[in-house]
Structure 1
Amino acid sequence: MEPGWRASTSHAEPAEITPGIWRLPVPLPGHSIGYVNSYALIAPEGVLLIDVGWRSDESWDALDQLLRGVGSSARDVRRVLLTHFHPDHCGQAGLFVDASIGMHPIDAGHLYDRFVDQTPYRAEMMRWVDATGSPDAVREVSLTQLTRSKARVAPLVPDHLVVDGEVIKHDRWELTAFHTPGHTGGHLCFYERTSRLLFSGDHVFPHIKTSPAFRPQCSADPVGDYLRSLTRLATLPVDLVLPGHQEPFEGFDERLGQLRQHHAERLSLCERLVAGGASTVWEVASLVPRSRTWDQLNAAAKISSMGETYAHLVHLAATGRATREGSAPITWGG
């Protein structure tokens, strides 16, 4: 990494991380987080992009303009690597008709059910709602979310199934793929060894305490997977982390320690809440301290919170610290 790198003063502007590698903040209209970071590796033979934003005219035009601002364009993109299947990361990939699209096979295997024929996915989501002990309003919002997510993803069939440990060469760069399940079952991080850069997707952020969620099409123990993935990444010498959202940051080892501590505290909290009588995901999630009260959250925020709480409860059960019974809803005990 070149010394003297600094963050862009505006989220709307591209920022050069090191010669030839650019951070492109692509707007996400309607998303509270504002934008997703697309990273462009620009070489004479074309552009490699890591993550691309979701499908919308505003996002597509912005990405093209951001590429033009660094001397390229959407037409020059030859390869797209996707960290995971969430629409804000993969939604525009299918619009790059002349590019190779790479994704982990686990996430690639869920694309059809998530974004083409959602019938089985919707049924699975309804079972999830029942298992959490949620009211009917959550059911309605969850279905609306599925409809919206489908509209935000262009038809996509990856032609490159990226496996753990694979090295992807682009010009002078070599990106090693690390399978880091937790946020999704097929989440990938990419490590560029020469410049000691880690493209972390939604696995590690500078401020957001990434909480793996137990939702349809996740792994059996997302929190356990996530913590093991953190341990694996800790072996890498990283100078700069390039996350899917927020600003790039240094201090990778310190951040990993903060994330481990957060999840240890959250697991202990959920364990205490269950011991105190909260017996469903809905009840436990409603008691987790946050900046706004449970009643102040909208239904979408409650769904997100329940996914995180559910994942911590599942990990407690997997490690013998909680019990689970039933299915609609599941009841949790100490």
Structure 2
Amino acid sequence: MISEQEQQQACATLHTVRDCLRWGESALRRGGVFLGHGTDDYGDETLNLLLHVLGLPWDSDPRLLDARLLPMERDAFVGLMTRRVNERLPAAYLSGRAWFCGLEFRVDERVLVPRSPLAELIEQRFEPWLVPEQVGRVLDLCTGSGCIAIAAACALPHAEVDASDISEAALAVCRDNIALHGLESQVRPLLGDGLSAAEGRYDLIISNPPYVDAADMASLPDEYRHEPVLALASGDDGLDFTRRLLREAPDYLADQGVLIVEVGNTWETMLGIWPEVPFFWFEFERGGQGVFMLSREQLLAHRAAFAA
């Protein structure tokens, strides 16, 4: 915890950018905050919040380290750091913004903070598993902030992208981000439970659905408890949503279409339930696991197993 006395002392003694970065990193370490929403380093977390206060980009001139802050800037920074430590709020919720695939997104507690390894696939335009120019329609299920749908639209400019979510509150954030990137004519927000709002067939269905099992939900760090439970929890084994998706996806995929889904650490459970299914598990250069791909043909071949 950062006490009121510590806040007052910080406001009286912090003068430069360097001072703030040193104090902020120490405060995060002493407070034992959990990092897992886009940064894995206390220094980067502190820098993120300070640059937000100063309205500066990540690639700012290093000479700014010795620049003096205005009193209002210093006070705002100390206030954000205090909330980060005392309330365990993710930095993205404090700044109202996050980055995914190099794009900025507006976020708040209505949606998950973007952090999926799916970003690597999108940046590669899904090659070599798909031919980008042949992808005409994409569906992003459980879109939340819309980051996956919007990034996919930027990577596949000729594709129509549907962004579906069961939460109207989340779709409101998604609509804001679609407008932020000027993609109203390419990305369409849809309200629906699972595939209920999907229309026609898609060359690619991609999803970062809820997949946290009951045991992990009970032990989540406090930072994750600010995120919508609806976007995290998925039954005792974390696979309630994924089971439905595996059963229903073939009806919404084009003949050569594929399904790509992130299931996190429930991938081991899936291997135990469906050992005969030829899931293709991606490997990522920047880390992350638990993302599989199946073709429509494979989904149909094992539909009986998914229905059991």
TM-score calculated relative to the size of structure 1: 0.28
More strand by share: 1
More helix by share: 2
